[in-house]
Structures are given as structure tokens and as C-alpha cells.
Structure 1
Amino acid sequence: MQLTALLKYCASQHASDLHLAPGEPPILRRHGRLYRLAVNALDADSLSEALQTVLPVFLRDRLASERACDFRLSLPETQARVHLYHQRCGLAAAIRLLPSDLPDMAALGLPAAVADWTHVPHGLILICGATGSGKSTTLAALVHQINRLRACHILALEDPIEFIHTGLKALVTQREIGSWDGGFAQALKTALREDPDIIMVGEMRDRETVALALEAAETGHLVLSTLHTRSTANAIARICGFFPADAQQTIRLQLSQSLHAIMAQMLLPSSGDGVRVLAHEVLHATHAVRHVIRENRLEQIETLLQTGRQHGMHTLRQCLDQLVAQQLIAPEASAIDT
């Protein structure tokens, strides 16, 4: 199997993902839908051999012990994020193709309020959404814009590194977590000693990482990160839920003081050429929002979003209705539970 040629073909078809599994032909994801290629099914031994050749040496033990690993793959004309995993029939891969150029905030269809986030001196900004909703791309666009505008030190902690940032006005240092035994939490501990102004944490996966991120945001750093939640209110609940009940009041207080903004996003099929359109919900930490976080009245977040347009806030439903009115998505595409 020629992996390089296959990835090149995926890029030519504007596919976002490539799935390789024994007993199946290569499967592409294009505009959210899966398509099997009209070729022979992959042989388990040949597939395993091809995937092992691109696996970094330092990850071989992890793949053997944890049965899965992630890494960035750089090939001529193609960049990708690779997830290898063992399944019933043998070694398989889920490969996300990465754009060759850094994402531009205007081209992504981000709300206007997000442009102001690039000037925020400190606090916590979260990008939320399901897998495949474009969180990493939005985060990369934010970092790229800050890099263009501010003379600061941006420290990015990623697993794996997806977009390569070259210093423009900022100093950008990127560290891959894959080779660290302590994961994001250990990397974040050392990051605080490296004089960063802005810390990008690829994903907040555990209690210790969340605690360190909140501490960094409280002590004068701007922290950018992602969470796997579908709404802004769920993001707040998820952060608090990492901690035991007797610590949650303290965490709510910490979060209410350090939070700057949350955006929850999803990608929907467009009404025209089949590309996907970004839909979003934006929450800013106004005085009222900080109060409901402290008092654990998250059921009031929806009302604050609905009435907070003057603060740059809106609900997902308001965004969907606007996309339908602009004929960017079909009415049936907006018929989702918000």
C-alpha cells in the first residue's frame, strides 16, 4: 500500500479524513460523509507494515502498551495527524489531513467577537465541540492572528503538533506531548517556568491539567484550550465535574474569576457546494455570567446568551437561524437539538 499516494489522492478530493482498517478498502470522509474507494480491501499484514514504517520510534512502546497513539506525519505536499490503534482484525489508522496553510480567522466564518480575543492579556478562553468540529483549526487561527499582532511569547503544548507556527511578531514555541510520560499536566508545570505570555493547551483532558490551566490564567497568562462539549454551559459543567464535590465551590469561584470566553462550535453541510459551514455559540464572562458560575445556576446561561448580543454573545439556535436566513445552510440542516 502506497500511503503517500493515497494521502495525495485524499487531498485532491478535499477529504478531511482517511480511515485504514484490515478487511476494508480505504475510506475517505468528505464534507462529513464516508466514501469507500473502489479498490481491493486492505490486507492486515501489509497495512500493519505500512503503518509501522511511519510510526515514530519513541511511540513504539506506547503503541504496544496502550494499544493506541497519535503523531504528526509530514510527507511531501501532505501533512496529517495520525491516530494508530489496534482493533479486532489488526492495526488500523484514522488520519486527519491538515491544511498546508495556517487557517485565517476571516475565512473560517468565526464570529466578529472572536477577533477581540487576540488582544486579551490574561484569562481562559475555551473552544468546544464534538470530534471533527474544527476546534484545533479555530485554535490555530487564534494563535496565528496573535502571532501577527503581538510581541509576546506563545507556548503551545500539543498532542500531536498539527499546525506549524513560525514566529512573526511573537516568539512561538511548540512542544509535542507524545514523548512526555506526564502528559499535558507535566508539560504545563514546566511551561510556567518558561516565561510564556500565552499558553495554548491542545486539550484539557484531566483534573490536574484543568487545575494548572486555571492557575496559569489567574496568575497573568492567557490560556487557550479545547474541551469536548457541545455547548458553553456544558463546558462549565465539565470543568467543574473534573473535581470532587467538596472542591467544586472553590473551582467555580476560580473559574468565575479567570474565564474570559467560551465558543462552542459545529460544522454543518452547506446548502450549496457541499462544503461545511461553521455554526457557533459564544459566551463572554460578563458580571452576570460570573455570578451564575459562582452560584452554580448554569440553567440561566441560555437566557444570558439569548439576551447578551450587546456583549457579543449568542446561542447556537440564533446562529443557525441566521445561517438559514443567509441561505448558507438548508432549514433541515438547522433542525438539531440545541
Structure 2
Amino acid sequence: MNNSLGRRLSIGGGDYFTVKQNFNTFFMTTTENLTINRILNAVAERKATDVHFVVGNNPIIRINGQLTDLADEEVINPEFLESLINFFAGEDKLEILKKKKEIKFAFNWLDKARFRVYIFKQKGYYSISLKLVPQQVRSLEEIGLAKAVAGFCRSKRGLIFVSGPFNSGRSSTMSAMIDFINKNIGGRILSFEEPIEQIFINQKSMIEQREVGQDVDSFSQGLASIKDEDVDVVAVSKVDSIESLELILELAESGRLVMAMVDYDSAISCLEGLISDFPQSKKQWAQDVIADYLVSIIVQRLVPTVQGGMVLAVEILIGSSSVKSLIKEGRYGNVESIIQTSRAEGMISLDYSLAELVRTGKIAQAEAIKQAVKPQVLMASLKKQ
């Protein structure tokens, strides 16, 4: 290959920069390189979770849930953004970006940090969002879920859904569950991720991580390919289609433990949403499979504390016999009542979890109300004590 050859990549309204065929060579000034490394160093040192690069704005970082401008840095112009894209993306990724106008991948920076990179187009220009990936997998104990979730991970088969909004710690919980199984139980674990964030080392388990867009074309294609494979645990970082969801249920039916990340804000909305996605001809089947194989639904929030950090609030629904019966009958409102009255069995509602955080002085009442599924339930819980 002739490394002197280049090509043009259209960013925004025109052709802005040349990318060498050897993607290790970047057209970047020393000043630009220093700026990028200074920003990434600030992200790591200030324990930010995210950084955003948008044309016309200063770089923006998120610390303890709050967005903050890096006011000392210059406003981002198209040329600097082009250098950023060159810095993060290789030749193969630039080809995908040119075709699809967006791409997600993981990026290791100087052995100091690992980022999940999302490059996308808005208002005619590309923007970049980075999420800092923890350098080490946090254990279930460290994230405060050991007592509740470790037992779910010991299940031989079934469905575990980890739900919540963006930036709620779902990826950390999924990684912690895989880590727990790897260290304590064993088996063959297959994950489908977009992109791969944490890299696992085999201990008691054999772990294979497949990246969507690189190792498989889609979640559904990857899931379909393992239906007849020797696999004990399947982890899915995104349920992106009804085809993927159907395959997840089929894998649980076939005797695998399947852990999947979804986007609902409560256990009840998760149940309703998963089943309502199916066409009428398959709704009863989906309802029956979820009822028969549900291990747990874990719903999360990361809530700002009064001391400036973040704390986990959680809702846990367990697939008990009474819960399974109600799901089969489609009586989801009654499932909510069971969550609220079954704390002795390990279930907890998100609103009760928030109320406990208020009672212990970890979060402000106003913040709890903002995060609550049903603020009136939260307030009623607070008035009881």
C-alpha cells in the first residue's frame, strides 16, 4: 500500500481533511495533539464520566451528573473536530462513518483510560461523545448490589433484564454480573456488545465477547448464530429490535441464562413494553415465556448526592411464583403491589429506594422527587417515618 495516498472525507458541508491510508498517521498539529491529550487528561483526573465535542461550543464534560464547560479550552471549530475524528478513528471506522454517518467503538488512550466513542452527525457537522469506561470491573459489592443480585447470577437458566435511562450504571451492573459468574460459577459466557467496553480475562469461565459491527453484523444475527451452540450465559448490551427480543426469549426457553440491557424506567413499564413490542399473534407466547423464565428485572438510577457524588437507587422485581402467575394473566398493576409488599423476599420499588436515600441523608428530597416513578408514593413513604 502506498502510504502517500490519501482520500477526502466530507464533514458537514464540504471536504475538510485528508486521511492517510495508513490510519496510524494523522494530519494533526502539535498544538492540536497537546489540546486533545490535555482534555482527555482532565476527564480522567477530574473523574468525569463523559465528554462532548460539538462545533461552536467549548468541550463539555459531565461530573457527578452535571455538565460543565471546559471554559479554558477554545471553542471547537470544524478543523479541530476533523483532527479529533482522525485521532480516535482508524481507516476501517472512517469507512463506516462515511457510509452510515455515525459509529460507536472503544478507544484506549495511552494506557491511561478507555473510552466508548460515539461519532454522529447533527446540524450538518459531526459531533463526538466519549464515555469513560472504568479501568477495572467494579464488583457487585462495590456497586451495592451483591446481596440482591448475586443470587440471580447463580440461576442456571432464565431472563435477567437490567433497565434504566442512559448514564444509570447499567453497563457497570452487567459487567459486574459477568465478573461474578466468571469468578464464582463458571460456564461458557457469550456477550454481544456495541462496542466492547470491559475486557474480561477467563477465570472459572470461558468468556467470548463479540462486537456488533465488527464480529457480527447485528445483535439479531449474532443471537441467531448461537442458538445451537454450547453456551451457558448470554449477555446482550442492547435489545435493538423485535427480532433480537424474540431470540433472547428463545435462548431462555432453550435453557440458557440471558442477561439483557433495556431502557425502561420501572419494572412494570419494562414488562409492558417488552410484551407490547410483539405483534398480536406472538403476544401471548412472549407473555408466557417471560412469565415462565423471568429471574429478575433490575431498574437503576444514579442520583446526585448532597455531598457532590452519585449514589445508586434501584428497583428489583423477582420472578416469584405469584409474580409469574400475574404476568401470565397480564395483571401488571398487581405485580407493582407485590414489589411494594415483598421487601422481605428481596424486592424493592424505586420510590422506596429513593425514600431510603432521603431518610439516610444521602440525597435531597427534591432530587428524590425528580427521580421518582410516582412522586406521591415516594412522599407517602417518607411520611410513614
Find out whether 1:69 has 2:103 as its counterpart.
Answer: yes
Partner of 1:233: 268
Q: Distance in 2 between matches of 1:62 and 1:241?
A: 33
1:249 is aligned, of 265, 280, 284, to 284
1:218 is aligned, of 253, 263, 270, to 253
Partner of 2:343: 309
Find out whether 1:31 has 2:70 as its counterpart.
Answer: no
- Work out which of the two has the higher radius of gyration on C-alpha atoms and give 1 or 2: 2
CA RMSD of aligned residues (A): 1.5
Amino acid at match of 1:320: L
Shift of 1:189: 1.4
Matches within 5 A, 1:77-116: 77-110=112-145, 112-116=147-151
SS at match of 2:213: helix
Shift of 1:71: 0.3
Q: Distance in 2 between matches of 1:65 and 1:301?
A: 45
8 Å CA contact 1:270–1:330 kept in 2: the answer is yes
SS at match of 2:118: strand
SS at match of 2:178: helix
8 Å CA contact 1:54–1:73 kept in 2: the answer is yes
Once the two structures are superposed, what CA deviation does each residue of 1:86-139 show, in whole Å capped at 9, x if it has no partner?
A: 111511111001111111111112262212112111101010000111111110
Matches within 5 A, 1:172-191: 172-179=207-214, 182-191=217-226
SS at match of 1:254: helix
Amino acid at match of 2:99: S
Once the two structures are superposed, what CA deviation does each residue of 1:274-332 show, in whole Å capped at 9, x if it has no partner?
A: 11100010001111111221111112221010111132101111111111122221222
Amino acid at match of 1:27: I
Once the two structures are superposed, what CA deviation does each residue of 1:168-207 show, in whole Å capped at 9, x if it has no partner?
A: 1111111111226641010111123431110101111110
Amino acid at match of 2:77: D
Shift of 1:52: 3.0
Amino acid at match of 1:290: K
Q: Distance in 1 between matches of 2:91 and 2:242?
A: 30
Partner of 2:51: 18
Matches within 5 A, 1:265-304: 265-272=300-307, 274-304=308-338
Q: After alignment, is 28-37 or 320-329 more displaced? A: 320-329
Amino acid at match of 2:85: L
Find out whether 1:144 has 2:179 as its counterpart.
Answer: yes
Find out whether 1:333 has 2:364 as its counterpart.
Answer: no
2:202 is aligned, of 148, 158, 167, to 167
Matches within 5 A, 1:47-58: 47-58=81-92
Structure 2 runs not aligned, ≥5 long? 1-31, 374-385
Q: Distance in 1 between matches of 2:335 and 2:53?
A: 42
Once the two structures are superposed, what CA deviation does each residue of 1:141-182 show, in whole Å capped at 9, x if it has no partner?
A: 111111110221111110000111111111111111122664
Q: After alignment, is 124-133 or 44-53 more displaced? A: 44-53
Amino acid at match of 2:109: L
8 Å CA contact 2:210–2:216 kept in 1: the answer is no
Partner of 1:205: 240
SS at match of 1:186: helix
Amino acid at match of 2:186: A
Q: Distance in 2 between matches of 1:242 and 1:59?
A: 32
Q: Distance in 2 between matches of 1:235 and 1:63?
A: 32
Q: Distance in 2 between matches of 1:99 and 1:181?
A: 25
Q: After alignment, is 205-214 or 53-62 more displaced? A: 53-62
Q: Distance in 1 between matches of 2:204 and 2:146?
A: 24
Q: Distance in 1 between matches of 2:193 and 2:206?
A: 17
Find out whether 1:43 has 2:77 as its counterpart.
Answer: yes
Q: Distance in 1 between matches of 2:286 and 2:174?
A: 24
Give TM-score, length-normalised by structure 1. Answer: 0.96
Amino acid at match of 1:134: G
Q: 1:271 to 1:69 in 2, by over 3 A?
A: same
SS at match of 1:42: coil
8 Å CA contact 1:58–1:179 kept in 2: the answer is no
8 Å CA contact 1:48–1:90 kept in 2: the answer is no
Amino acid at match of 2:241: D
SS at match of 1:200: strand
Once the two structures are superposed, what CA deviation does each residue of 1:25-76 show, in whole Å capped at 9, x if it has no partner?
A: 1100011111111221011122123213422433333322321110001112
